[in-house]
């Protein structure tokens, strides 16, 4: 979910430039991407809520599922302990809804309130997905490693991109505009690299859940729908980024 937030921050800077510059093409693009973002957010929340009321036969909470998955990979820290590395991953609760994440540098899987202490198909799917990311780190999954290496550059570039692009539009200094586009392209690359990372984590989650009997055959379709809805969110985020990048390049070439 943080990926959508990051894209929104950059896009908002661009939207301000578009409205202030009264660019019809940008206004249309803004409406399309805003609608796409709202639809995907609505879909993931709807799907998550639907299956959050369906308990699993295992009776395990999200935290317990994540612990089982990490144990199956041989990377679980003792229950209640904080993880220290990719080989010792801990589990901790985090406030909010759909705020679940995995921090490879800290060795911690953070699970949101409707996941951590709740038994449901949704909590099981989400917990296994985040634990799947820990498995990627432990096995040095290529796309995951690349994504982690891109983080410092993207953190800097995402902040600078919007400012430089606006300055380039308003001052008509093409060099600033292209520099902003380059920084923005780093964020787009990050979004694209994120896709195989998320898809793979979901595949790992389903494989582990079924192989270890944490889901019955009847429960698997529901878990798959939850993970597919989450994947759609990341796909929409990448599409939004690409559309903005193409627009910026088109405008820069016209100057």
**pLDDT tens-place string over residues 40-81:** 989 999 999 999 999 999 999 999 999 999 999 999 887 666
The predicted structure's pLDDT at residue 208: 95
CB 141 within 8 A of CB 196: no
Q: What are 205-247's pLDDT values in tens digits? A: 999 999 999 999 999 999 999 999 999 999 998 998 899 899 8
The predicted structure's pLDDT at residue 24: 79
Model confidence at 130: pLDDT above 80 = yes
Model confidence at 84: pLDDT above 80 = no
The predicted structure's pLDDT at residue 15: 44
pTM tops 0.95, yes or no? no
The predicted structure's pLDDT at residue 3: 41
The predicted structure's pLDDT at residue 4: 43
User: Could you list the active site residues?
Assistant: 130
The predicted structure's pLDDT at residue 60: 97
The predicted structure's pLDDT at residue 22: 53
The predicted structure's pLDDT at residue 166: 84
Q: What are 140-171's pLDDT values in tens digits? A: 999 999 999 998 888 888 888 888 988 888 88
The predicted structure's pLDDT at residue 82: 65
Q: What are 98-123's pLDDT values in tens digits? A: 999 999 888 999 999 999 999 999 99
The predicted structure's pLDDT at residue 1: 41
């Amino acid at each position: 979910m943080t990926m959508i937030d990051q894209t929104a921050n950059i896009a908002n800077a661009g939207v301000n430039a578009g409205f202030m510059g009264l660019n019809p093409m940008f206004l249309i693009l803004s409406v399309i991407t805003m609608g796409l973002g709202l639809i995907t957010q609505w879909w993931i929340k709807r799907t998550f809520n639907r299956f959050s009321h369906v308990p699993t036969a295992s009776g395990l909470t999200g935290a317990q599922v994540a612990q089982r998955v990490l144990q199956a990979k041989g990377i679980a820290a003792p229950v209640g302990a904080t993880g220290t590395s990719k080989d010792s991953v801990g589990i901790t609760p985090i406030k909010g809804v759909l705020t679940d994440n995995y921090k490879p540098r800290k060795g911690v899987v953070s699970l949101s309130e409707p996941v951590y202490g709740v038994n449901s198909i949704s909590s099981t799917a989400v917990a296994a997905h985040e634990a799947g990311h820990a498995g990627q780190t432990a096995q040095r999954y290529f796309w995951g490693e690349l994504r982690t290496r891109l983080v410092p550059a993207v953190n800097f570039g995402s902040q600078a991109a919007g400012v430089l692009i606006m300055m380039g539009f308003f001052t008509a200094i093409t060099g600033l505009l292209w520099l902003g586009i380059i920084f923005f392209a780093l964020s787009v690359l990050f979004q694209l690299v994120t896709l195989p990372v998320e898809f793979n984590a979901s595949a790992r989650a389903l494989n582990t859940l079924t192989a270890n009997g944490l889901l019955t055959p009847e429960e698997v379709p529901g878990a798959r729908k939850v993970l597919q809805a989450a994947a759609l969110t990341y796909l929409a985020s990448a599409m939004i980024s690409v559309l903005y990048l193409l627009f910026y390049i088109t405008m820069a070439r016209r100057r």
